[in-house]
Structure 1
Amino acid sequence: MKNYYKVLFALLILSAMGCENAFFEPEPANNPEDIFENLWSTFNSEYAPFEERGVDWDQQYDIHRPQVKSSTTNEELINIIKSMLRSLDDGHVSFTTPNSDVFYSNRIIDQRIDDGLFDLDLIKSNYLQNDFLKSGNGLNTYGWLGNVGYWHIKAIGINMFDINSILDYFASADGLIVDMRHSSGGNFTYAFSEFGRLTDEERLVFSSKTKNGPGKNDYTELYEWSVYPKGKYFNKPIVLITDRYTISASERATMAFKALPNVTHVGDTTNGAIATKIGKELANGWFYSLVTQKTYFKDGKTFEGVGIPPEIYVKNTNSEMAAGQDKTLERALEEF
């Protein structure tokens, strides 16, 4: 019994030694210089698409680090951090401090550029004649444009479980418009399980690899994301519409649609923030997000930082919107 307690005590000591780094690492210091260093170094070791976005992160350090001193105020430090993150121009990079709006690194999102060139309410009243259905907690809006079905997807989530019922609703349609303008992303894993109605064979959509270490080449193996046939095949022409606010999981959905042979892509280029993001907290309670993944379309191309371009480029104007016209939607209808 004495030997038992000796062994148990030894194991506890070894366990404590092994866990020391996991449980007793010092917290980053809460001062301007250490806050900056912690954020910069975290991006340096965990952020994936520096190359795709053409950013020299060491250069950003050389520009911004000399501006940070022990006497730097919170307001000054916030502006320095925003300036550095702005260089990434990444829709998945955000920075949040108390009592202030969320800062987005992406210029389009942060400045709401061309935000008014899409209006779902205009489509509801002027094109659907206020005859439409909603599902998925309001994330799906769908109805008829003559003999063509119209489906707007506001985000990607549990609403994708309604694909079957929506496709059944449009069983007699000449085709389907899938409008993903201003589609804010979400979780595309919901869509993969339900995409089977839209394909008659296994189709590779994209592949991804995720950072798994601090080195520039420390990544997991590539993982391939494919869709598989499931249920009654919806073999009708589909026109997909996107804009610069089609982002994140909605861009993955865009790649899934573009992997189908019966889909035509109309509208504007997507945002270009496709890979997965994670959230982090600094020692002073400020929050930020960063991207830890690289993604590649089925052909090996990456659209991170540039967006997925349409085959037919159409962009509404402010004057057309003011007149109650959605010329992009009208151009999509011409495909049927």
Structure 2
Amino acid sequence: MKNLKYFFFAIAVLTFVSCKKTFFEPEPQNNPVEMFDNLWSTFNTDYPNFEQRGVNWQEQYDIYRPQVNNNTSDDELLDIFKQMLAALDDGHVSITVPNADQWYSNTIINDRIDNDLFDLELIKTKYMDDNYLESGYGGNTYGWIGNIGYYNIAWIQDNFLDIDDILNYFSNAEGLIVDMRHNGGGDFTWAFSEFGRFTNEKRFVFKSRTVNGSNPGDFTDWWKWDIEPSGTYFNKPIVMLTDRYTISAGERTVMAFNTLPNVTQMGDTTCGAIATVVGKVLPNGWYYTLVIQQTEFSNGVDYEGTGIPPQIYVQNTSEEMNNGVDAQLNAALEQFK
């Protein structure tokens, strides 16, 4: 029931904001100048994280607007959009055009930098016992590495409904590795609603506020997000692994784990694309995404743009991975010795 509370609150806020803007904004015409002005203006009023990302949005306009006229071709306009949005380096900002791959503002995601430094198949074949289990349509992979439980969470959706069975499966474990590397996000309210067995008390995780108005800086009030105890408390030591591909709802789930005294975050810093994302369509059919929210962790820090750093940095290398060695996972296992 708590998940429904979170879900309907989030939908109500986003619907109100979307409707308010839809009723009063004229549709742009299908020409390069109006489409540029519309996209720039939408980010100007709706995107709240320019400061966090060190971007002067007016300067971006001054650089790129003179390059656009009514004779600008689609290819030229797309290239201008990419150059302008690349300054944000935001994993939640993207453009999708027909017959082309989705383009991301974040360089690591768009260019798949170090994408090969995590490989679940390697873990299945080189580390886990043969009787590992999967559930949630691949969202959960879990099993044993000796007497340590290993739980990979690929995304945050209704796969989190299986968490009670998974923790029961590991009731005799000496510790648990929660692998959030390459977690693709989803809907964090599924995680928060099912998080009860990880905590023995109510814990404040983060607060968020959503853009609400036609002027930059117009927001809703802050909304606090908590986790609350439920069921049998799982009080074993936990090591959580993260990397630069841990994004969005995955990062909010990392925040929840980081409020727990028995959790150590290891690996690499997360992506830093945490806020809620929405999509919009230009008159020519191009689809783009942006965020309309600010978040602040319980320690008062906004990790948008920087990512959530681990307590213990460990890097994998391509050479080690090619030799069947996951150094981050090895370091996590060492924590239990």
**Equivalent residues of 2:129, 2:145 under 8 A apart:** no
Separation in 2, partners of 1:39, 1:313? 38
Distance 2:32 2:319 in 1: 47
Match of 1:193 in 2: 193
Q: Superposition pairs for residues 238-257 of structure 1, below 5 Å?
A: 238-257=238-257
Give distance in 2, aligned partners of 1:115 and 1:22: 38
Residue 293, structure 1, aligned to residue 296, structure 2: no
State the one-letter code of the partner of 1:198.
Answer: F
Residue aligned with 1:137, SS: helix
Which AA in structure 2 matches 1:83? Q
Match of 2:77 in 1: 77
Q: How many matched pairs?
A: 316
CA contact (8 A) 1:275 1:293 kept: yes
1:178 Cα shift?
0.1
Q: Aligned partners of 1:254, 1:34: CA distance in 2, in Å?
A: 40
Mapping for residues 124-273 of structure 1, pairs under 5 Å: 124-273=124-273
Q: CA deviation at 1:25?
A: 6.5
Match of 2:6 in 1: none
Query: Following the alignment from structure 2 to structure 1, what is the Cα–Cα distance between the partners of residues 129 and 172?
Result: 20
Q: How far 1:23 moved relative to its partner?
A: 6.7
The secondary structure found in structure 2 opposite 1:134 is strand
- In 2, the alpha carbon distance for the partners of 1:259 and 1:265 equals 11
Q: State whether residues 266 and 314 of structure 2, in contact with CA within 8 Å, keep that contact through their aligned partners in structure 1.
A: yes
User: How far apart, CA to CA, are the structure 1 residues paired with 2:185 and 2:94?
Assistant: 15
Is the 2:129–2:144 contact (alpha carbons within 8 Å) kept by the matching residues of 1? no
Q: CA deviation at 1:137?
A: 1.1
Partner of 2:61: 61
Listed as ranges, the gaps of 5+ residues in structure 1 are 1-20
Gap runs ≥5 in structure 2: 1-20
Amino acid at match of 1:267: G
Report how far residue 26 of structure 1 moved.
Answer: 4.5
Q: In 2, are the aligned partners of 1:209 and 1:293 still within 8 Å (CA)?
A: yes
Which residue number in structure 2 is paired with residue 14 of structure 1? none
Alignment of 1:110-121 (within 5 A): 110-121=110-121
Q: Which residue of 2 aligns with 1:303?
A: 303
Instruction: Provide the residue aligned with 2:283 in structure 1.
Output: 283
Q: Residue deviations 1:187-238, cap 9 Å, x none? A: 0111111100000000001100100012222111110000000000001000
Per-residue CA shift, 1:93-145, capped at 9, x if unaligned? 01011111100000000010000000000000000143310011111000001
- 1:253-273 CA distance string (max 9 Å, x none): 000000001000100000000
**Take 1:131 and 1:121, find their aligned partners in 2: how far apart are those partners?**
14
Q: Distance in 2 between matches of 1:26 and 1:116?
A: 45
Structure 2 distance, partners of 1:205, 1:249, is 13
Query: Which amino acid in structure 1 is aligned with residue 123 of structure 2?
Result: I
SS of 2:137 mapped into structure 1 = coil
Alpha-carbon RMSD across the aligned residues, in angstroms, is 1.2
* 3-state SS in 2 of match to 1:294: strand
- Cα distance in 2, alignment partners of residues 47 and 23 from structure 1: 19
- Over 3 Å counting, the alpha-carbon distance change for 1:193 and 1:320 in structure 2 is same
Change (3 A) 1:26 1:218: closer
Post-superposition offset of 1:24: 9.3
* Aligned 8 A contact 1:124 1:131 in 2: no
Cα distance in 1, alignment partners of residues 150 and 182 from structure 2: 15
SS at match of 2:101: coil
Cα deviation for residue 90 of structure 1 reads 0.1
Change (3 A) 1:207 1:26: closer
Query: What letter matches 1:285 in structure 2?
Result: G
- Equivalents in 2 of 1:23, 1:46: separation in Å? 15
Partners of 1:23 and 1:190 in 2: how far apart? 31
Kindly provide the amino acid, as one letter, of the partner of residue 50 in structure 1.
Answer: F
- Residue 106, structure 1, aligned to residue 106, structure 2: yes
Cα distance in 2 for residues equivalent to 1:319 and 1:23: 55
Q: In structure 2, how many angstroms separate the alpha carbons of the residues matched to 1:26 and 1:50?
A: 25
Once the two structures are TM-superposed, the CA of residue 299 in structure 1 deviates from its matched residue by 1.1
Residue 241 of structure 2: SS of its match in structure 1?
strand
Q: Write the deviation string for residues 273-323 of structure 1: whole angstroms up to 9, x where unpaired.
A: 000010001111111000100000001101000000000000100110010
Q: Which residue of 1 aligns with 2:90?
A: 90
In structure 2, C-alpha distance between the alignment counterparts of 1:195 and 1:139, rounded to whole Å: 16
Say whether residues 1:44 and 2:64 are aligned partners.
Answer: no
Please give the alpha-carbon distance, in whole angstroms, between the structure 2 residues aligned to 1:139 and 1:118: 16
Q: Does the 8 A contact of 1:48 with 1:291 survive in 2?
A: yes
